[in-house]
Copies of this chain bind each other. A is one copy, B any other.
Amino acid sequence: MRADAQRNRERLIEVAHAVFKERGLDAPLDEVARRAGVGPGTLYRHFPTREALHEAIMATWIEEVAGHVEKAMATEGGCRDKLLAWFEEYVSLLTRHQGAAAKITASLGCQDSPLRTKCQTYADANASVLAEMSDHGALREGVDNLDVCRLLGGVATMADQSSLSAEDVRPMLDVIANGILKN
């Protein structure tokens, strides 16, 4: 790739990050182009669809997911506390950008989504936490990772759309934890 093209690409990702943070993932792409100082044609050549741009800006936080799992699993207390800590991390990660929770979770089931690899990272992270719970014999029988991811995605989406605080979200996560843990 030519040097100027590389520069533009990086600048677009940087600006898109800011714009999406300010105005949500549905923000006008023309504004991204304008603020990046390029024509719309340039933006669309680098990122043919809105989703391609979403994917690019998510690349950074995807790398952090493993760290968040570790952090949650280091929480003091029993399985329940660790699980709830992870749930809170999960929801917080998904609600970093307005509209992200719904989009990421929707692409969970669909093989050909451009966000597929990203949401798979989340699903894998959640699976690893559930596996840990299972090893300790704390998990009910027949709990499916995809179902839990969708439940959390649903909570995150509601939190996103109603601008709920962590305190508002907590009791819902409690219900899910009660629902998948034994006793």
Binding site for B on A (CB under 8 A): 102, 105-106, 108-110, 140, 142-144, 147-148, 150-151, 153-155, 157-158, 161-162, 164, 171-172, 174-180
Contacts and interface: CB of A to CB of B under 8 A. Distances in A.
Contacts of A153: 154, 158
Given A108-B162, A153-B154, A153-B158, 19 more contacts: A105-B161, A105-B162, A106-B158, A106-B161, A109-B164, A110-B162, A147-B171, A150-B158, A150-B162, A151-B154, A151-B155, A151-B175, A154-B155, A154-B157, A157-B157, A176-B179, A178-B179, A178-B180, A179-B179
Tell me how many chains of this kind the complex includes: 2
Contacts of A172: 147, 150-151, 154
Say whether chain A's binding surface is mostly helix, strand, loop, or mixed. helix
Q: Among A151, A155, A176, which residue has the most Cβ atoms of chain B within 10 A?
A: A151
B175 A147 contact: yes
A75 B49 CA distance: 48
A134 to B, nearest CB: 15
